[in-house]
């Protein structure tokens, strides 16, 4: 082996190493792929659909009402839910109507025939949502493990915002709010 071959080998090895590091950085800190498991976000998301999770979004922007997020729950479990209540909000569900600070909030993404139980923040021990905490609900309110059962979630428990559904291919959709 001559010096040129060794140099070329080292140069190629460094290029591959940098590529692997960049890919790992992207997966860990920027985006990841997640799959919908269950029916708690029906009709918006269905079991088996594959999504892109934007992990950087909330480092530079605030969480917004209506965002679909992935959050950490019970050490190894991740949930996909919709942000409904923001810090400072008073939330109530009465006769299938979401009330935010006493005003009805239209939820076009819900199945109109769905019936679900009444709820207030007092049911989970709060008058209003504290700073850096959020109320999240599944779109399938009849069958969802969400803030009504697990309580408010901390901003630090949010993995990121769902940005894109890319599987199945005939249902590709960009989620923007």
pLDDT at 76 over 70: no
Q: What is the pLDDT of residues 21-33, one digit of tens each?
A: 888 877 766 778 7
* Mean pLDDT for the chain overall: 86
Average confidence (pLDDT) over 137-142: 89
The whole-angstrom separation of Cα 34 and Cα 27 is 11
pLDDT at 177 over 70: no
Domains in the chain, CATH or no CATH each: 3-174 (2.10.109.10)
Q: What is the pLDDT of residues 94-128, one digit of tens each?
A: 888 888 998 989 888 888 888 888 898 888 888 89
> What tokens appear for 150 in the block?
């697990």
The whole-angstrom separation of Cα 81 and Cα 40 is 8
Residues marked as catalytic: 40, 81
Task: Say what the pLDDT of residue 1 is.
Answer: 61
pTM (2 d.p.): 0.79
**57, 43 Cβ separation under 8 angstroms:** no
Task: Say what the pLDDT of residue 107 is.
Answer: 86
Task: Say what the pLDDT of residue 153 is.
Answer: 93
Residue 23 belongs to what H/E stretch? helix 3-25
Calculate the CA 163 to chain-centre distance. Answer: 9
């Amino acid at each position: 082996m001559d010096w040129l071959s060794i140099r070329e080998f080292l140069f190629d090895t460094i290029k591959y190493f940098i590529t692997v590091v960049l890919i790992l950085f992207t997966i860990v800190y920027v985006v990841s792929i997640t799959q919908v498991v269950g029916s708690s976000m029906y009709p918006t998301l269905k079991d088996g659909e594959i999504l892109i999770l934007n992990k950087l979004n909330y480092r530079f922007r605030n969480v917004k009402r209506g965002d679909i997020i992935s959050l950490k729950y019970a050490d190894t479990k991740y949930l996909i839910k919709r942000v409904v209540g923001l810090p400072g909000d008073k939330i109530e569900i009465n006769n299938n109507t979401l009330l935010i600070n006493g005003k009805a909030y239209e939820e076009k993404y819900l199945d109109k025939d769905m019936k679900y139980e009444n709820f207030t923040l007092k049911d989970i021990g709060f008058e209003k949502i504290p700073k850096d905490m959020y109320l999240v609900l599944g779109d399938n309110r009849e069958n969802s493990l969400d803030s009504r059962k697990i309580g408010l979630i901390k901003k630090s428990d949010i993995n990121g915002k769902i940005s894109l559904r890319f599987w199945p291919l005939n249902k590709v959709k960009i989620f923007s709010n």
